[in-house]
């Protein structure tokens, strides 16, 4: 075999790893999965632009690896996907640490401590190419030499020296997509991407960051800033509705389904709170199922094409908990960011949506009914003619009635023509687009005091004229 062909191997694999489609968000989540599985209580993500030689490290205080375990773990396919896993294991394929890391960097180093023993290994793609590596094998490192590496020794001193066990995964020689040192805004891009990754992790691991009663808590920080749980179901909002939980059995395992209806804009305790739960993409986009595998979010806001995302269901979010024993059936991918419900579950999900999609509508229609039932004569009337809604000026409003009565006939006709013009040009499209956009607030503060006084005086006059 020609040597040049063998030299192509590392870069060829690197390209295939990139095509798996990891992003900084999914790659960092994959490394954190390992820390959580290793029972870490504290996970620190350190990162530095480092004058255009940026690096990212994920450090945990979990159970760590012995030299023997690290030697196995750093190889591709260290565990079979068919192996039985502990029920709280977030892994499946024996690949994540390597694939996730090498999708974001060309040099990954793992240092671990267990039973007082330190061990380390690395995949350094550029070194492999320049050394003419002919096989895919990780390079094990001499731990006595680690203090000579400034970045590693700093991380070990801060994150491993004082604890009994733990692991550091260091990414160097980062993908230029994370922030190209040759570009003027490289550093800005790097910090923006780190910021976006932090938000992603606040959502993906929210049930570890803010656990339910008796569940294990995990603290994660980004350069010492503690991550805050981002709960998509708005658990802290009193007006949120929790619909009855359903449990379905699949191959002897239980899938738990908990639907929620978030409060209508008018019921949320503040505009900030309402917008926080809208998320960056808004309520319409964020409706749907949220699939959790061992409390870790793997897929968010999808109806699995069972129903379309529409305006009236926008407040419905359904939590689905699946165990890792059903990975095969749900076709979980290596990145843990895709899953497909098996046919038997799809049927159940469809039944549940049909039952509750009305609940989201109820929040809207109840409110509309309440508005319609108020014993106040509205200025705007809503007519439904042959299923079509039409808004218009209400001629029964006392002020309007007074005007129509007092004005000379010719002016009454002009005024009616004016109303007709307003009614027929109501900007339905614009209103619909604004109402669907959760970031837009309607000005609803009402008229000024002076206007109210003037209108009030005229109203009293008009009512008197009617004999009130
Ligand atoms: N932070 C860590 N602490 C302790 N052990 C770890 C840590 N990270 C990885 N390991 C060990 O390395 C092994 C390989 O990890 P890797 O992420 O490559 O695969 P996996 O987690 O088994 O499966 P998956 O590909 O689904 O992530 C793990 O099974 C675990 O035994
Ligand atoms: Mg893993």
Residue 347, C-beta contacts closer than 8 angstroms, at least 6 positions apart: none
Whether 92 lines ligand 1, by a CB cut-off of 6 Å, is yes
- What are the boundaries of each domain within the chain? 3-226, 241-372, 376-465
Q: How far apart, in Å, are the Cα atoms of 331 and each of 81, 342, 440?
A: 12, 9, 39
Residue nearest to atom 22 of ligand 1 (CA): 94
* Radius of gyration for the chain, computed over Cα atoms and rounded to the nearest angstrom: 30
Whether 97 lines ligand 1, by a CB cut-off of 6 Å, is yes
Q: How far is the CA of 412 from the centre of ligand 2 (A)?
A: 76
Q: How far is the CA of 379 from the centre of ligand 2 (A)?
A: 61
Q: Which ligand is nearest to the CA of 81?
A: 1
pTM of the model: 0.79
- 396 and 369 Cβ atoms separated by less than 8 Å: no
Determine whether domain 241-372 maps to CATH 3.40.50.300: no
HSE on the CB side for 43, CA within 13 Å? Answer: 30
Interatomic CA distance for residues 46 and 56, integer angstroms: 6
Question: What CATH architecture is 3-226?
Answer: 2-Layer Sandwich (3.30)
Interatomic CA distance for residues 428 and 322, integer angstroms: 42
Q: How far is the CA of 73 from the centre of ligand 1 (A)?
A: 6
Residue nearest to atom 21 of ligand 1 (CA): 91
Q: How far is the CA of 22 from the centre of ligand 1 (A)?
A: 17
Reduced to 3 states (helix: H, G, I; strand: E, B; else coil), residue 445 is: coil
Q: How far apart, in Å, are the Cα atoms of 316 and each of 108, 130, 259, 300?
A: 41, 55, 7, 13
CA nearest neighbour of 323 among 342, 300, 296, 350: 296
pLDDT in tens, the chain (468 residues): 444 455 456 656 666 766 688 999 999 999 999 999 999 999 999 999 999 999 999 999 999 999 999 999 999 877 888 888 888 899 998 899 999 999 999 999 999 999 999 999 999 988 888 887 777 788 999 999 998 999 999 999 999 999 999 999 999 999 999 999 899 999 999 999 999 999 999 999 999 999 998 899 999 999 999 999 999 998 777 778 888 899 999 999 999 999 999 988 777 767 777 888 888 899 999 999 999 999 999 999 999 999 999 888 999 999 999 999 999 899 998 888 889 999 999 999 999 998 887 655 555 555 555 555 555 667 787 765 655 667 888 887 777 887 888 788 878 888 888 888 888 888 877 776 676 665 666 666 566 778 778 877 877 777 777 666
Reduced to 3 states (helix: H, G, I; strand: E, B; else coil), residue 383 is: strand
The full 3-state SS of 41-100, as one line of letters, equals CEEEEEEECHHHCCEEEEEECCCCCCHHHHHHHCCCCCCCCCCCCCCCCCCCCCCHHHHH
Interatomic CA distance for residues 166 and 61, integer angstroms: 4
Whether 335 lines ligand 1, by a CB cut-off of 6 Å, is no
Q: Which ligand is nearest to the CA of 327?
A: 1
Token code pair at residue 466: 């009617």
- 167 and 65 Cβ atoms separated by less than 8 Å: yes
Q: At what angle do helices 24-37 and 96-104 cross, to 10 degrees?
A: 150
Which residue shows structure tokens 């450090």? Answer: 59
CA nearest neighbour of 286 among 271, 274, 269: 274
């Amino acid at each position: 075999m020609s040597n040049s062909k063998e030299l192509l191997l590392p870069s060829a694999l690197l390209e295939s790893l990139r095509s798996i489609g990891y992003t900084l968000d999914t790659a960092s989540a994959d490394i954190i999965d390992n820390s959580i599985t290793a029972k870490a209580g504290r996970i620190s993500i350190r990162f530095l632009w480092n004058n255009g030689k940026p690096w990212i490290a994920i450090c945990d205080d979990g159970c760590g690896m012995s030299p023997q375990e690290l030697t196995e773990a750093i190889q591709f396919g260290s565990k079979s996907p068919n192996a039985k896993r502990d029920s709280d294991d977030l892994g499946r394929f024996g690949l994540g640490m390597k694939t996730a890391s090498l999708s974001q960097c060309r040099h990954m180093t793992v240092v671990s401590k267990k039973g007082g023993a330190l061990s380390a290994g690395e995949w350094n793609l550029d070194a492999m190419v320049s050394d003419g590596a002919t096989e895919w094998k990780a390079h094990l490192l001499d731990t006595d030499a680690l203090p000579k590496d400034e970045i590693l020794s700093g991380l070990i001193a801060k994150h491993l020296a004082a604890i009994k066990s733990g692991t550091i995964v260091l990414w160097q020689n980062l993908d230029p997509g994370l922030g190209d040192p040759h570009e003027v805004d490289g550093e800005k891009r790097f910090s923006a991407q780190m910021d976006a990754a932090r938000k992603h992790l606040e959502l993906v691991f929210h049930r570890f960051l803010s656990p339910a009663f008796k569940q294990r808590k995990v603290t994660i920080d980004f350069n010492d800033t503690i991550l805050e749980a981002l709960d998509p179901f708005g658990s802290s909002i009193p007006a949120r509705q929790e619909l009855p939980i359903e449990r379905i059995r699949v191959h002897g395992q239980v899938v738990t389904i908990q639907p929620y209806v978030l409060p209508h804009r008018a019921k949320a305790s503040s505009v900030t709170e309402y917008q926080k739960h809208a998320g960056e993409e808004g309520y319409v986009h964020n409706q749907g199922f949220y699939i959790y595998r061992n409390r870790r979010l793997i897929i968010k806001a999808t109806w699995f094409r069972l129903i379309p995302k529409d305006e009236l269901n926008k407040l419905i979010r359904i939590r689905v908990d699946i165990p890792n024993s059903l990975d095969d059936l749900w076709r979980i991918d290596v990145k843990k960011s895709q899953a497909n419900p098996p046919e038997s579950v799809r049927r159940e999900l469809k039944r549940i949506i049909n039952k509750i999609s009305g609940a989201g509508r109820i929040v809207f229609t109840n409110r509309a009914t309440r508005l319609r039932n108020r014993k106040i004569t509205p200025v705007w009337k809503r007519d439904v003619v042959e299923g079509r809604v039409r808004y218009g000026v209400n001629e029964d409003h006392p002020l309007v009635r007074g005007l129509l009565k007092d004005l000379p006939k010719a002016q009454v006709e002009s005024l009616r023509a004016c109303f007709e013009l307003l009614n027929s040009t109501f900007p339905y499209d614009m209103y619909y687009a604004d109402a669907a956009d959760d970031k837009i607030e309607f000005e609803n503060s009402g008229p000024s005091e002076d206007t109210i006084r003037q209108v009030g005086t005229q109203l009293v006059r008009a009512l008197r004229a009617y004999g009130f």
